[in-house]
Amino acid sequence: MQKISRPEPSEYPSYSSIYMDLVREDKPLLEQLWNNYLELKAFVYGLPEETLCFRYEEGKWTIKEILVHLIDDERIFAYRALRYGRNDDTPLHGFDQDAYALESRANERSLENIFKEYESVRRATLTLFENLHEETHLRAGEGIDYDGSIINKRTVRALAYHIAGHELRHFNIIKERYVNL
């Protein structure tokens, strides 16, 4: 399995450190991505059905919405890694995660359907990063804010770590705010 080294803080926006800090240093990143997916899936399947559409506060996402958000975010960040890895540094727009969550209709979907999509996206992400050559890991691109201004720069390896850490962050939120009330 391909080794992807931990990115330096200069390779991602400072707010992303909340994700980067959650990724373990003692295991290969791609192995962590697969194992974290399996752990999250097993955990969520162990929850009562009524918990999956529960909102701990008005305006907060349900667990199903969080899961689809993780899928959307992974697709977008893997796409960025593909673009930058192929030496395309065209600045890419961000996305409105709340609008995506609303349009996802996640609460109308079965857990089986959500995890079918999640696994498909995760396998595609793993295949992408397994086949990006090491020299591409430091290639970078820029993100564009809604007003058209450049807001951040990330390397390919920082995007991979973002995907892993972002998932762990939301997994922790599920455990803290939806289960341990």
- pLDDT tens per residue across span 112-154: 999 999 999 999 999 999 999 999 999 999 888 766 677 789 9
Residue 131 maps to a domain: yes
Residue 1 maps to a domain: no
On whether the CB atoms of residues 9 and 17 are closer than 8 A, the answer is: yes
The domain that holds 90 is classified in CATH as 1.20.120.450
Task: Give the span between the Cα atoms of 165 and 50, in whole angstroms.
Answer: 27
Task: Give the span between the Cα atoms of 118 and 145, in whole angstroms.
Answer: 27
Task: Give the span between the Cα atoms of 155 and 140, in whole angstroms.
Answer: 4
Residue 126 maps to a domain: yes
Task: Give the span between the Cα atoms of 26 and 73, in whole angstroms.
Answer: 25
- pLDDT tops 90 at residue 163: yes
- pLDDT tops 90 at residue 47: yes
On whether the CB atoms of residues 94 and 151 are closer than 8 A, the answer is: yes
Pick from 139, 127, 131, 122: nearest CA to 88: 139
Pick from 118, 113, 104, 137: nearest CA to 6: 137
Range of the domain at 16: 9-179
Residue 2 maps to a domain: no
Residue 39 maps to a domain: yes
Number of domains in the chain: 1
Return the pLDDT at 26.
Answer: 92
Tokens 């899936």: give the residue.
Answer: 41
Residue 3 maps to a domain: no
SS (H, E, C) the chain: CCCCCCCCHHHCCHHHHHHHCCCCCCCCHHHHHHHHHHHHHHHHHCCCHHHCCCCCCCCCCCHHHHHHHHHHHHHHHHHHHHHHHCCCCCCEECCCHHHHHHHHCHHHCCHHHHHHHHHHHHHHHHHHHHHCCHHHCCCEEEEECCCCCEEEEEEHHHHHHHHHHHHHHHHHHHHHHHHCC
Q: pLDDT tens digits, residue range 64-84?
A: 999 999 999 999 999 999 999
